[in-house]
Structure 1
Amino acid sequence: MTGTISPVFLILLCQFGLSMQACQECACCKDTLFACTSNKMCLKGCIDGYYTEKCTKQCLSNCKTCVNGNECKECKPGYYSNKCNTQCGKGCLNSACSILSGECTCKSSYFTKGKCDACLGLRYGDECNNTCPINCGSCLSETGCSWCKNNAHYGSYCQYRCSVGCVDEICNKGTGYCDKGCKPGFVGYKCDMCLSGLYGPYCDLKCTENCKECLSDTNCTKCESDFYGDTCANACPAGCDKTCSFSTGQHCKLTEKYRVCEKDTGRCLHGCNLVTKFGDFCEKQCGNTCTNKSCDLKTGECLEGCEMIFYGLFCNNSCSTSCLSHTGKRSCDAINGHCLFGCKDGFYGKRCDNICSSLCVNTTCNQTTAECLYGCINGFKGPKCIEADLEGFYTRSTLIGSTIGTFLAGSIVVGIAALITFIVWRRRNIQTKQLEVHGYENTIGPCENRSNDDTRERDSPVTYEDLKSRDERLYSQIATSQQIPPPATDFVNYMS
């Protein structure tokens, strides 16, 4: 029928325990599909999980069979009690246990007998086959101890031992604090420290003199305020300051908080007792050029500035002698050394430590820009006279070259004229002497086989034209051998 669940289907669901609701009449009867009477009563009872005469109601969730809706006759595997709402122990064999007591047969000897619901001894895990940490009384895991053996340890897995200073050596498992207090000679929440001046595993040995805390008689960890060293046998330097002006301005009580010097090195902790000293051990003297000779106790930098002619953090630099000065006043800045009143002539720069260019007239320049104040020497130009004056150079060079050229040309002409004059004079002088001694016949010299022309020439008197012609030939020969330029026509005519 439409909209109606098939009775056969419901019976099958009930038979296999799959129904999630009450069965219809006869649907959940045991053994057969037709095991009920005409009035719908089940003849052989109900299948597991259902009850009533008609097997129409469902038992509690973990019941296998039940008497009614509140009481089970049998439980499903792994549960017990009258309502089957309690699990059997994790160690029960096949997860089965008594419905009344929950007792079962354990699947191994690692479980407690009876309900087999806990691990035996110092074991943990689902199968109780893991061993607890050594100091655990019991545990749920390798890092989760429930309690520690004899309460003599603490920590999540009892990994720490209670201090020997605890009374009865018992402490809280979580904090390690001594529940019963400390033994004599011990202090601290965990009673793990010795009283001041005592040392040793039982805090019953005394530290050496001036030693407040120690690990042995040769290893002090804390000294009296004005001593230092491994055994606190060394007194702090005499120059260390013993005041604490940062607090009250009064002389401090020498406690560890206001130690005079560092415990291990002896370094002064609060500076020096004199403003003229500085250094880790107040062993250094402030510079003599510091005003009032006072300086920083750590660095040695001058605190009140420098004496008149010095500058710098340590006043170890002298003001430049090129700075202008005024009587009774500093010539340069005390910090950077810059000249306060300018530079003397010939110098420039902030510290007047640069010399003006020698190309400047009078070697004088502007203090800031270094530009020449009175111009440049010949041959240079520009604000700083560093540029060559080529135009002026070429003009002067041309003038000088022209003058020198003219002079040389004139000298050559005069030289040539003098040479010609000398040759002519020489020649005439020789001929005159020949005439005086031999007459006209010997002016040419003896010669055999002369022609009639030669004879006539010999017999003719020597004229001025003859001498001129001979001098010109002679000059031509000399000029050719010495590469002398031919004389100018005007000059030759003049000499003629």
Structure 2
Amino acid sequence: MIPVSKYRSSTNVYMNQNMRIIVVLSVLFGSLFATKECSTGENCEIKCMTNCSNCSRDNVCEQCEPGYFLNNHICYKCPSNCISCSSLDKCGICKDGFYNERRYDVSRPPLRTNCSLRCREECSSCISYKYCNNCTDGGHLCHCKTRNESSKICASCYRRNYGNYCNRSCSVGCKNHLCDFNAGTCECIHNFQGDYCDRCIDGKYGRKCEKQCERCYPGTACEKHSGVCDECVEGFYSRTCDLPCSANCKSCKKNYGHHCITCKPGKYGKKTEENGKEYIACHNDCSDHCLNKTCTRDSGNCYTGCVKGHWGVRCGSTCSVYCKDSECFQGNGSCLCCREGQYGSYCDKPCQVGCKENICTRDGNCKKCKKGFTGSKCETCEECISVVTIIIPATSSLFVIAVVIIISIVVIRR
């Protein structure tokens, strides 16, 4: 038999070994099941100092909790009337009933920024002594400058407000922030227009109408607050007209930069469609023979004319070599003028040999005949005509021809 003492000893060793294993496992996997509160660190092992919402691994505070401000990595409490602050004398947001401004009852008072000034009794919250956000009685009379006690409405308002309860704001465009007590109409400051001075003049936008609608089409409006244009100047698109149209577009549709309305000089394209919208792509080059390389946007026809020496709708044909200075009409290729010695629509016919200095008109008539020739085209022998004229006057063309034939026969027989 095994002695009891030895059995107990072996059992204790076994239990101790198991306990060690349990301790090791708990250390290794305890973080998976731990629910301890932590603030930062890769494994949430760092607890930030009091009133600090975020700190580094070295426990250096980087951000404070609401109502505190950070100074040299330490969180200090804001003044009692502040919701948020950056120092003891600079509050960002005041609690209801307090405000940051200048004291109304002191001449040239210093600016208070620690929320130490209290709103009027009738104001539950305010932005200044004069201007309440909310009234303590839940009504509107705290907005009045003076009241009509009998009717419980305002008799007059502070600047910037109007209406029976002074709860309506004058437009920012009103001169001196003053507007009519009943209607709210006012005199406008620079860049504003309208009865209520609530609209910007053309070409301006912004809360104070101080921004320029630079690429909105002249004479069209842009939205007062955002600057969105009704129409863009040539070459730009988008809601605010600040994006250039695609490279080949001279102008494009307001919402599609590659949907050309007109093409840049030297480009054209056929009409196409995308998502149900028709446009011109302007991918093709106008003919080099188009005057100024300009053509119609959808067909490529040279509508301004052809360069010298070419004709046709796309100027693809060559003028006749007999055209003077290689100039011809675009429509049919006929010459504007003929070279010397040529005549006809295309100047492809030579002047008659009897034309003096080889000069003739467009229809082939000679200006002057060489010696020995006669007729409008200088193609008749002048000496033969003289002989016939002396022998017998011509009474008819047939008679003259008969006489000429008879004379010729007689001459030959001699």
Give the TM-score normalised by the residue count of structure 2: 0.34
Q: Which has the larger radius of gyration?
A: 1
Normalized per residue, the structure richer in helix is 1
